[in-house]
Amino acid sequence: MAPTVPSIFGRGSGKGSSDDIDFRITGQEMQFVEIELDPGESAVAEAGSMMFKDPQVHMDSVLGDGSAAPGGFFGRLATAGKRLLTGESLFMTVFTHQGQGKARVAFAAPYPGTIIPFKLSDYGGQLVAQRDAFLCAAKGVTIGIHFQRKIMTGLFGGEGFIMQRMEGDGYCFVHVGGCVIERDLAPGEELHVDTGCVAAMTPSVEFDIVRAGSIKSMVFGGEGVFFAQLKGPGKVWIQSLPFSRLAGRVLANAGPTGGTGEGGILGTVLGGDRS
């Protein structure tokens, strides 16, 4: 299948405990990632994210994140409980190549944005991301939770008290809204970001909140009461279009007085022309 837009390619290193996958990310505003599996290799993904697969790729739903959780059933149950806290399903889907030669499976982004590939071994084996950011990964990557220990940061930091933590040495794929930029923060260097635009960061980055200027700025500036304060050392990834901002614009134009007349945009889309 020949892509119609430029693609991003990646290949595994052949080292590590996670399955060594090759991949290609295709698309611009609505991207998908196509993973190439060797016989016996597996990829794990959120339920409902699959776009297509070859027939020799077997699909199975598992409790938890699909990793070999210690403690048998109770270990998997604890992993599933952590996923529930981050707003995800108790189950994940494992796609395993059970045939010969190469086989492919693809996963699509749920809304306009960017799919970022992370080789976790390049980031010390850990990555922290916003809730619902995880899309798929090589089998062996663990998806857990990261708690914000400061009460004020949890309440007003835009990400809540709980974020996603991905651990392992293989590839994982994170989806964020709009386009994304990467910033490398030196020790002690600070960056102020809109609270909803923090997409991902390495665990060494300190995440706090800072007041957004004067009272007048907080009330009339349109940027909220607090900014996210990120302090290095470490890397941060910033998204240009948080899903909450996109959803807010849609809802603002979906009511009886919004958009294009009766019922707004959603009324036009769902109800059609009622004249």
Q: What does each of the 275 residues of the chain score in pLDDT, given as a tens digit? A: 444 455 777 777 666 667 889 999 998 888 999 999 999 999 999 888 999 999 999 999 887 655 555 555 545 555 555 555 555 566 789 999 999 999 999 999 888 999 999 999 999 999 999 888 999 999 989 888 877 655 444 444 444 457 888 999 999 999 999 999 999 999 999 999 988 899 999 999 998 888 765 454 444 444 556 788 899 999 999 999 988 777 777 887 876 655 554 445 444 444 544 43
- Residues 257 and 167: their CA atoms lie apart, in Å, by 47
Residue 144 has what pLDDT?
82
Residue 180 has what pLDDT?
94
- Residues 241 and 204: their CA atoms lie apart, in Å, by 25
CATH class of 7-245: alpha beta
Residue 233 has what pLDDT?
96
Domain extents for the chain? 7-245
Residue 268 has what pLDDT?
47
Q: Got the DSSP string for the chain? A: ---SS-EEEE---S-SSS---EEEEE-SSS-EEEEEE-TT-EEEE-TT-EEEE-TTEEEEEEETTSS--TTHHHHHHHHHHHHHHTT--SEEEEEEE-SSS-EEEEEE-SSSEEEEEEEGGGGTTEEEE-TT-EEEEETT-EEEEEE--SHHHHHHSSS-SEEEEEESSSEEEEEEES-EEEEEEPTT-EEEEEGGGEEEE-TTSEEEEEE-SSHHHHHHSSS-SEEEEEESSEEEEEESS-HHHHHHHHHHTTSTTSTTSTTHHHHHHHH----
